[in-house]
Amino acid sequence: MFVSENLNVNKKGHLTIGGIDTVDLAVQYGTPLYVMDEVMIRNACRRFKSSIDKYYGGKGMVCYASKAFSCLEMCRIINSEGIGLDVVSIGELYTAVKAGFDTSKIGFHGNNKTDEELEYAVDCGVGHIIVDNISELLRLEKTAEEKKSKARIMLRIKPGIDAHTHDFVKTGQIDSKFGFALETGEAFEAAKQAVECENVDLVGVHCHIGSQIFDIAPFEEAAKVMLGFIAEIKDKLGHEISELNLGGGFGIKYLNSHDPAPFETYIERVSEVVRSECVALGIAQPFILIEPGRSIAAPAGITLYKVGARKEIPGIRTYISVDGGMGDNPRYILYQSEYEAVVANKASEERSEKVTIAGKCCESGDLIGENMPLQHAESGDIIAVCATGAYNYSMASNYNRIPKPPVVFVNNGESRIAVKRETPEDIIRNDV
Ligand code: LLP
């Protein structure tokens, strides 16, 4: 009935998440409110992990991309699932460290890591630093030398695959700020320099071809291209690359019309490609890493809002204004992303109208969505926007000096606060 399987309707006709009435959550914690279902998060981690066990003999690791959604409690949950973590800034790494995350399972990303970030990553003993460019490689070599340590690195490669078209092409994508291009020989030169470095250990290569991808074919193609590169490094440099990181990007269902491939099928098919390509190329099967973010966090989350104004503009549209907006969910203004919405206290009724859900920022484009099927919504109703667990809280801002909403975790009928609601005092915390 709803896009995410953890959503249901109870006897009162109210939307539930993880067995809890969302209207009760809105009353208890206030609105706007992010709600994350711990069971969904854990299930997604386990599905990815068991797929690697089943289809690739367990020779791989899932690293949750924490840019999708991070806070101490999320890091604790991910750590307790025994999987790894992808971080992309000092803040994400600090959060993981403070949550007690096993740093040997952390990969540090970023196309422009600062010296401070590189030093902190080396100090923390992160499992991998995914090197994006030559300047970073040289700075890391120096930092590792100064700290008398050896940094385990992967090189971020642009495999030349455009995953956003069905008819993906192999030659584009040089125009990206991330990583080394294969076609120009830049990637090979980087590998050569990395092998010559004394304080870095080139253990792997990495690619990430995009996000919210429904097809498996571009992932298979990327794996082939990357294995070809591993074979080239072995042939020409005599250096064995033992790890292949294929990034994240697995699509999820935001609308009922969306039909992403199940991630088990992705792991099955990519494992098959890796096995057969390795035989063909005469190279050892690498340890595989994947970095799902959205597919672990998004379906687990919803955002609850309270309706303020209802504005009908005859012949044009109906605006339903809520007490949040682009500050807590900037994805419509950025990407025109689509979401399913439900009036939580009327969840068993028909979605009889098509409305525009508007936020409260001083910005016309501050919308949660347009043309959204919705039950008749009036002032005081609670609206749930579904599948907001990824790239909502993590991309939230204080535009208009609006305090950020809290995050509540639910688990089989129980709820607990994970991130407190910001207050006006928090807004001026760093002002002097
Ligand atoms: N690994 C790397 C290196 C990445 O750059 C990303 C996402 C991921 C993994 C995780 O991808 P996922 O499985 O979540 O698709 N703000 C955008 C999404 C940006 C994704 C950036 N990189 C959005 O809201 O749709």
Helices (H), 298-404: 331-335
Sign (positive or negative) of CA dihedral 169, 180, 228, 243: negative
75 pLDDT tier (thresholds 50, 70, 90): very high
Q: How far is the CA of 254 from the centre of ligand 1 (A)?
A: 16
Q: What is the pTM of this model?
A: 0.97
Distance separating alpha carbons of residues 192 and 189, to the nearest angstrom: 5
Query: Is 278 a catalytic site residue?
Result: no
The reported pLDDT for the residue numbered 1 is: 83
Q: Which one-letter amino acid corresponds to residue 37?
A: D
Residue pointed to by tokens 């089943």: 54
Closest residue (by CA) to atom 5 of ligand 1? 208
Q: Does 333 contact ligand 1 (Cβ within 6 A)?
A: no
Q: Does 327 contact ligand 1 (Cβ within 6 A)?
A: no
106 pLDDT tier (thresholds 50, 70, 90): very high
Q: Does 250 contact ligand 1 (Cβ within 6 A)?
A: yes
Distance separating alpha carbons of residues 180 and 131, to the nearest angstrom: 9
The reported pLDDT for the residue numbered 389 is: 98
Active-site hit among 45, 361, 362, 386? 362
Cis peptide before 424 (omega within 30 of 0): no
Distance separating alpha carbons of residues 185 and 190, to the nearest angstrom: 9
Q: Does 295 contact ligand 1 (Cβ within 6 A)?
A: yes
The reported pLDDT for the residue numbered 195 is: 98
| Three-class DSSP category at 317 | strand
Pocket test for ligand 1, best of 294, 331, 392 (most atoms within 8 A of CB): 294
Q: Does 251 contact ligand 1 (Cβ within 6 A)?
A: no
Q: Does 391 contact ligand 1 (Cβ within 6 A)?
A: yes
Burial class (CB in 10 A: 0-12, 13-18, 19+), 269: middle
Distance separating alpha carbons of residues 195 and 67, to the nearest angstrom: 30
Q: What is the mean pLDDT of residues 381-386?
A: 98
Tens digit of each residue's pLDDT (9 = 90 or more) over 231-261: 999 999 999 999 999 999 999 999 999 999 9
Residue 425 belongs to what H/E stretch? helix 424-427
The reported pLDDT for the residue numbered 164 is: 64
Tens digit of each residue's pLDDT (9 = 90 or more) over 400-414: 999 999 999 999 999
Q: Among residues of the chain, what percentage have pLDDT more than 70?
A: 98
The reported pLDDT for the residue numbered 166 is: 45
| Three-class DSSP category at 430 | coil
Beta-carbon contacts of residue 372 (< 8 Å; ≥ 6 apart): 339, 340, 341, 354, 355, 356, 357
Give phi and psi for 379, each to the nearest 5. -50, 130
Distance separating alpha carbons of residues 333 and 368, to the nearest angstrom: 8
Distance separating alpha carbons of residues 302 and 398, to the nearest angstrom: 20
Distance of CA 256 to the CA centre of its chain: 21
Q: What is the mean pLDDT of residues 40-62?
A: 97
Q: Does 331 contact ligand 1 (Cβ within 6 A)?
A: yes
Average pLDDT of every residue of the chain:
96
Beta-carbon contacts of residue 373 (< 8 Å; ≥ 6 apart): 351, 353, 354
Distance separating alpha carbons of residues 87 and 291, to the nearest angstrom: 10
Q: How far is the CA of 135 from the centre of ligand 1 (A)?
A: 24
Q: How far is the CA of 329 from the centre of ligand 1 (A)?
A: 16
Q: How far is the CA of 249 from the centre of ligand 1 (A)?
A: 6
Interhelix angle 38-56/72-80, nearest 10 degrees: 40
Tens digit of each residue's pLDDT (9 = 90 or more) over 310-360: 999 999 999 999 999 999 999 999 999 999 999 999 999 999 999 999 999
Strand pairing class (33-37; 407-411) = parallel
- Residues 7-37+300-427: name the CATH superfamily: Lyase, Ornithine Decarboxylase; Chain A, domain 1 (2.40.37.10)
The reported pLDDT for the residue numbered 173 is: 66
The domains of the chain are located at: 7-37+300-427, 109-292
Tens digit of each residue's pLDDT (9 = 90 or more) over 159-202: 988 776 544 444 346 788 899 999 999 999 999 999 999 999 99
Domain 109-292 fold = TIM Barrel (3.20.20)
Cβ–Cβ under 8 Å, residues 156 and 179: yes
Q: How far is the CA of 86 from the centre of ligand 1 (A)?
A: 10
Residue 116, pLDDT > 90, answer yes
